[in-house]
Every structure is written in structure tokens, then in C-alpha cells.
């Protein structure tokens, strides 16, 4: 029997927009709302404030990063399978930079 995929915060869309898009939104919002690692004090205390703006609750540093996550790239294929966020591999980044 297949595992049931939860939508979390994307349940608010009901029957609109399709299952795939709602799963993508659920993954993005889960990362956005979780506490993330502060680049200044290395504590899991940075919170999302606005698109690309974060604030650390420990050291009160405000800084910018990616729109919805600090250090992780969200890959939807992997996240849809096991609901985890997968970091981007270094070799892929090197080939894109070249």
C-alpha cells in the first residue's frame, strides 16, 4: 500500500489548483516556516520575515538569502517521494557555473 502524502498548510486550497502544485507549495512552506541555521551565530534560530529577508532570534542579525530557504535547494521530485528537503549536489553547481 502506498504511503499517503500530506499537504500540510496547502490543504487550505481545497480542490483547486491540482495535487502536484499543492504538494510543491506544501514543501516550500514547510521549509519557509521552519527555523534555519543563522550564518552569523550558527544556531537554528533564523526565521523567515519576508521574501529573502531573515532574522536570527538569538543574535538579532538581519540578513538576506534565498527567497524561502537559506542554504537548501528544494527538489520537488525527491520531496514528493519522502517529504524531505534535499541539498543540491556540489558537482551540479560546478557544471552550471562553468
DSSP 11: G
What pLDDT is recorded for position 62?
92
Contacts of 10 (CB under 8 A, 6+ apart): 22, 23, 25, 26, 29
Q: How far is residue 16 CA from its own chain's centroid?
A: 22
Please give the C-alpha separations between residue 93 and each of 39, 70, 71, 86, in angstroms, as whole numbers.
20, 16, 13, 14
Give 10-residue mean pLDDT values along the chain (98 residues): 74 90 89 86 89 91 86 55 44 53
All domains of the chain, ordered by start, with CATH? 8-97 (2.20.25.30)
C-alpha–C-alpha distance, residues 73 and 85, integer Å = 7
Q: How many residues does the structure list for the chain? A: 98
The pTM for the full model equals 0.58
> What 3-state DSSP class applies to 67?
coil
Amino acid at each position: 500500500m502506498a504511503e499517503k502524502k500530506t499537504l500540510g498548510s496547502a490543504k487550505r486550497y481545497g480542490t483547486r489548483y491540482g495535487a502536484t502544485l499543492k504538494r510543491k507549495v506544501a514543501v516550500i512552506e514547510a521549509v519557509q516556516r521552519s527555523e534555519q541555521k543563522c550564518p552569523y551565530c550558527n544556531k537554528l534560530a533564523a526565521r523567515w520575515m519576508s521574501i529573502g529577508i531573515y532574522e536570527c532570534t538569538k543574535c538579532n542579525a538581519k540578513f538576506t538569502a534565498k527567497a524561502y530557504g537559506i542554504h537548501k535547494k528544494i527538489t520537488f521530485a525527491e520531496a514528493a517521494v519522502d517529504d524531505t528537503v534535499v541539498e543540491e549536489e556540489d558537482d551540479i553547481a560546478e557544471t552550471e557555473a562553468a
